[in-house]
Structure 1
Amino acid sequence: MAGDSQKKLGPIAILTVPLFIVALVFTVVLTASTANCGSSSGSGGSVSVDPDSVPDINIGGYGHEQLVNAAHIITAGEDLGLSARDQTIGVMTAMGESSLKVLDYGDAVGPDSRGLFQQRDNWGPIEDRMDPYKSATMFFEAMVRNVPDAERESLAPTLVAHRTQINADPYHYEKYWDTAVQIVEELSGKTTQLGAGGATCKDDTTPGHVGKDGWASPGDGPITDRYGPRAAIPGVIGAQFHTGLDLQAGGCYGPIWAAHDGTVSNVFIDSLGNWFLVVDHGGGVITHYVHMYADGLIAKTGDKVKAGEQIARTGSSGASTGCHLHFEVQIDGEFTNPEPFLAERGITY
């Protein structure tokens, strides 16, 4: 949707799949909150791995040869003075391009792609593209040119990779991030503090305000859309029932808080590309937090959370026209209007 339309309509959440959906809008967010863990430039933010000392193990389905290649990528990043986050982006990208294998073939028409990063002739000579360390160095140099430090630290890792590689799908690399973090941490023996599901720091969070009844606001106001029937929006959605409460929640990468004590029962992405985080509060009460990006997820399935604990950051994943929190409440499996539900528990907007 064009920018003017977004200003007039405000954020929209689509959480059912009516047959008359006309189109889905997927917003590529170019700015985010600064994630400080392992993100500062300079050798102090790097992790180290000796490629010659990689043990013969398997990490996340990747064997010894692939892990040695990952070690070369990590080393190339360290030698350029890049952060652990940058090094992990390099590993993630090579996972998405070659499964961490030095491939002597590619799928490009014309100048063919080669190596860990499937680089074409314009990247450099074939012998450099087939060398794990040199190809990684070329990748990182291009990354630094295409995505300057301050911007790189605020972008989702998959978008940094996309800006460097120019993949047809900006979110192609997203699914490799968690395993890339695992590989970097296990090979280096260091804890990067890069958050589960993305690039946010596990301990870079902001607590919310908990009311006297033990409930907290899931996100800052104002309200941008309410629970109930909603008219069709030409070119976006057909008429449907809006099952939640939309909050501005600080805009892109603003804090999202658990509304009450509970257990994270699920974190998933649905068929429309909406990221969901589900908290079970017991007694048949469940809350849903929707539209985060993968790198905006903090809590993970199985976590015990407290009211007002930050569990995610606001995004615009899936069927959404702008960064906001879509908050839902279910009681015994049935949706209920979150606004009066929260008001009865001392949370008003």
Structure 2
Amino acid sequence: MSSGGQSSGLRTVAITALVIPALILAFLFGIVLISDTTSQAACGPTGTALTVDPASVPEGPIAGYDHEQLVNAAHIMLAAQKLGLSARDQQIGVSTAMGESSLRVLDYGDDVGPDSRGLFQQRDNGAWGSYSDRMDPFISATNFFRVEMTIAGRESMEPTLVSNAVQRNADPYHYARFWEPAGAVVTALGGVQQAAAPAANAGAGGSEYSLGPVHPQTAIVANTVGPMFGFVTIGGYRESARDPNGHPSGLALDFMTNDIPNGRTAGDNLAKYLQDHAADLGVDYIIWLQRIWSTDRADEGWRPMEDRGSPTQNHMDHVHLNLTGKGSSAIPGCETGLPGEVSLAGWALPAQGPLNSDFGPRSSPGGIGSTYHRGIDLGGGGCYGPIWAANTGQVVRAGPAGGYGNLIEIDHGSGVHTRYGHMFNDGVLAKVGDQVTAGQQIAKVGTTGTSTGCHLHFEVLVDGQQVDPQAFLAQVGVTIK
């Protein structure tokens, strides 16, 4: 049990296509070349606290969180910054509030803590100030961080254990599944700044750059990819440019190579990475060394660019990147394959593997199942293994349902539903009307209905039509193993 109970709000998941192509596995080979430290940087910011302006927060969504929730996250980040804390502390604060209130200022608690209030569900026990203090995003976050600052050795502790040392949750790993989406939010909001002053130690010690009012996806790419390759200076928004859909629209970045060692090599490596992960990052085109590469003409490779005059205009001292703004928030290298852990796009693996049966045509198992499989089957750790909600949503069905045996169905909004089947009667832990969060346990693996043994039958429906769950989850940063 936390200091004020566990509560969470409903996040809307926007999915725009019925058929979602599987991710190209080739991108994994590029990640192998990056060190463990670099990979961690890609999943969240490092160094000193990132600058944030709560009045300039984008509409969202980012990692499934809407504008109201993102403004609250910005207040948490600002509180950490004012106390001189780190970007890691900012991410801990945001992930904690995600786990307690889904980044909403709640004016209610739960059965265990009916007096819990606010973003951090702080109790009315005198430790967290007045009612108005607990309901104020900035003040409640400041009080959270003041307690966090007293935890000895927190820099070397797992983030979820730092959160738990403050919140005293019954499950010390409750906050772990919110770490990656918190990293996406902190990274994106850290790029939305009014200040035009150069960011100190951007590529070397932290992941903050003075980007101006850029698109959230632009900020995510800058603040994750920049530190991966050691860039100190990255240009973002400016009022005028050759392409109005670039810098003036907040969709372009200039990675400067003239103020870092081995700039030419760093530029070459960055350009190759951007090409390899163009679909994931939402790359429109790249300009480097008076050459241009674009996704719509990728088969042509690098094409010569006209002479524009100076070295800067010819992009000899920087890699120019134009984005579409439609890339995934799951930066390559940050995907989750662990049940209960949430990807940057806000999705979780519903159960442990292995994958025992694919989506689509198949032989009838045991002569009793359908020859067209409308979902996938996961081993789930055997009988009574845990089943997790794949995303935040509302339970709309829970109980007996024909060949499913027992079925749980969750409505995630925007026409997206997920189904979980074959649980034993005592393995159905959620009920109709429950609001659940991504990675929350909702059931236990069983074998009821048309089933030959304990497993999870998992379906994804978009506008009422079943789609391949494995391809769907891959597109939102979740790998089934």
TM-score range, shorter chain: 0.3 to 0.5
Q: TM-score, normalised by structure 1?
A: 0.43
Q: TM-score, normalised by structure 2?
A: 0.32
Rg comparison, structure with higher value: 2
